[in-house]
Structure 1
C-alpha cells in the first residue's frame, strides 16, 4: 500500500501526519513552528518528525510515496516556492526542492487554505459535491475553490483573498494596511474587536461581568455568551454573519458553488453567525441562485490541512 505524508504549516504550530490513499490518518504529531529559527531549521525538524512517524506507525520509509505541505501566504505550487509567508518570515523559499533534498521524496506544496478546502472537498463535508467553496474564519478570513477535484488558483495563484474585499471605507485599518477589509469584521479577531469596542462604549453585556480587562475577550467568549442569551454578543455575530452573507452574494453568481463549507475557529459560533449569513446571502441573490447553495460546517477539524495536503500530493504524483 502507498502512503503519503501531509504537513500543515502554521505560524505557531506544524501538524505532520501519515495517511493512506483514502485519507485516513495513521498517526499525527504537532510541533512548534518557531519561525525565527529559519526555513532550513523548520524543514529539518519536519523531516525528523516524519521519520519518527514512519517508525511509530509501522510504515516503511519506502512506502511513503510523496509529501504534501500546506503553507500560509503566497505560494507558487508549480515550482514549489513559498513566495511570501509573513508569519514564517519566508520570502522566495524553494520549499519543495529543500524538503525533497532532505527526504528523498517527491514534494508538492500549496497555500494552506487551499489544502484545507481540498481535504474537506474529498474527505470531509464536501464529499458528494462538485464545486466546493471553502471559507476559514480564523485570525483572518480566507477562502479557496475546488472544482471537480481541481483547485482554482487564478492569475499568479492569487485567488482566494475574500478577506481583503473592501466593505467599509470608514472602517478600521486591516493588517494588510488598507482600511475596511471584510476580515476586520468577519474573523475571530474582528468578532472579538466588535464586542470589546461596544463594551468600552458602555453597552451592557455578560462579557463585561466576566472580564475585568476587555482586551482578554476572544471570539470564543462572544460565541459562548451569545448561546447564553447575551444580546450584545448575539448582535455582534449577526452583524458578522450578514457582512459575510453580503460578500458571498457576490461570490455565488461568479463561481456558482454547489456547497459552501465554513471552517476555522469562527465557525464555532454556529447558527448565530451562519443563520444571518444564509439569510443575507439568499435575500441578495437572484432567484436562480437563492437557496440552491448548500451551507455546511467543516467536518475534519484540525486534520483537514494534513489530509488535504497529503491527498493533493498523491493526486499530483498520479499525474
Structure 2
C-alpha cells in the first residue's frame, strides 16, 4: 500500500501519521519532542517515527507499506522552497537545513512548511473547509496564527511570512509580547494569554469560583480548560475573560476579511475546544465590523478534525508538492 507520512512537530510532542492518497489517516503514533536534546536528536526522532509508523502499519494490516514522501509541519518561520527551518523558538532551531538532513536519512522526498499552514491546509481540504474555495484558518492555542487556502493552494506572501494574525497590535492591550511588540492580539486572546490574565486577576483579588478550585499556590495549575468549566457554571469572571478574548479575535479577523475575502473561517486549536463560548462573541464583533456583502456570505466554524488536521495536512501537502515535482 502506498501512503504519505505526515508529521506535526510541536514543542512538547511529535505526532506522525500515515495517510492514504485520498486523505485517510490509517496509522498514527505520538512521541515526546524532547527539544532540549538538540535538533539532531529531534530530526532523528522524526525519521525513526516515520519508519516505525510504516513498520507498525505493515505488521497490523498485513500489507506491504511504501511511504512515497513525507510532509513535516514545523513551528516558527519556515522556508519551504529552500527546505530550511529559519527560526523555531520553542525548538531552539535557527537556519536548520531540515529537508537535506531528513532526505539523506530517510532516502525519500521530504517537504516542510509552517505547522499552522499545514494544519489549516488539512482542515481546509479534508475537514470543515471541504468543498469551499477560499478558506481562512486560525489556530488559537499557546499563540495565535492563521493561513489562507485559495483553490487548494496555500498563500505565503513575501518571505513566507503571511498569517501572523497573533501579532496584530490591538488597541487597549498593553502587555509586552516576546516578539518585541507591545499589545499583540495573542498576549490576551490566545489560550496562554487568557490563562495568564486570569491568574493575574485572581492574585489581585478578583472574585471567581476559580479561586476556590485553585487556592494559593495551586493557582499555577489552572488551565484554559478550567476557564471553560467555570464559564459553564455561570462564573461571571470566566465569562468576561472569554468574551473579551472572543471579541478581540473577531476584531482582528475583521481586519483580515476585507483583505482576503474568505467564504469560510475555521477556528482550530484550543479555540475549537472552547466552541461557542469563544465563537459567539467572535462572530458578534466580526459581523458588526464588516460590510454586509461579506457578512451575508461568510461562515465561521470550528475545526472538524482538530486532532488530525496537522498530520493530514502535512501528508497531503507532501503529496501535492511531490506530484508537482514529478510533472
Question: Closer, same or farther in 2 for the Cα pair 1:66/1:170, shift >3 Å?
Answer: closer
Q: Does 1:210 align with 2:213?
A: yes
Q: Distance in 2 between matches of 1:14 and 1:246?
A: 33
Contact 2:76 2:114 in 1 (8 A): yes
Q: Does 1:274 align with 2:279?
A: yes
Q: Which residue of 1 aligns with 2:22?
A: 22
Q: Does 1:144 align with 2:147?
A: yes
Unaligned runs of 5+ in 1: none
CA-to-aligned-CA distance 1:32-88 (integer Å, 9 cap, x gap) = 111122222212222222212111111545x21100000000001011110111111
1:18 counterpart SS class: strand
Instruction: Give me the TM-score of the superposition, normalised by structure 2.
Output: 0.94
Alignment RMSD, CA only?
A: 1.3
Contact 1:267 1:297 in 2 (8 A): yes
- Tell me the number of residue pairs that the alignment of Structure 1 and Structure 2 aligns: 318
CA-to-aligned-CA distance 1:227-285 (integer Å, 9 cap, x gap) = 11111111111111111111111111100011110011133221121101101111111
Q: Does 1:181 align with 2:184?
A: yes
Q: Does 1:134 align with 2:137?
A: yes
Q: Distance in 2 between matches of 1:39 and 1:215?
A: 30
Listed as ranges, the matches of 1:210-289 within 5 Å are 210-213=213-216, 214-289=219-294
Instruction: Give me the TM-score of the superposition, normalised by structure 1.
Output: 0.96
Question: 1:142 deviation in Å?
Answer: 0.8
Q: Which residue of 2 aligns with 1:10?
A: 10
Question: 1:100 deviation in Å?
Answer: 0.5
CA-to-aligned-CA distance 1:182-206 (integer Å, 9 cap, x gap) = 0011101111122223323322211
Q: Distance in 1 between matches of 2:222 and 2:72?
A: 33
Contact 2:272 2:306 in 1 (8 A): no
Q: Which residue of 2 aligns with 1:78?
A: 81
Question: 1:209 deviation in Å?
Answer: 1.1
Contact 2:173 2:184 in 1 (8 A): no
Contact 1:16 1:29 in 2 (8 A): yes
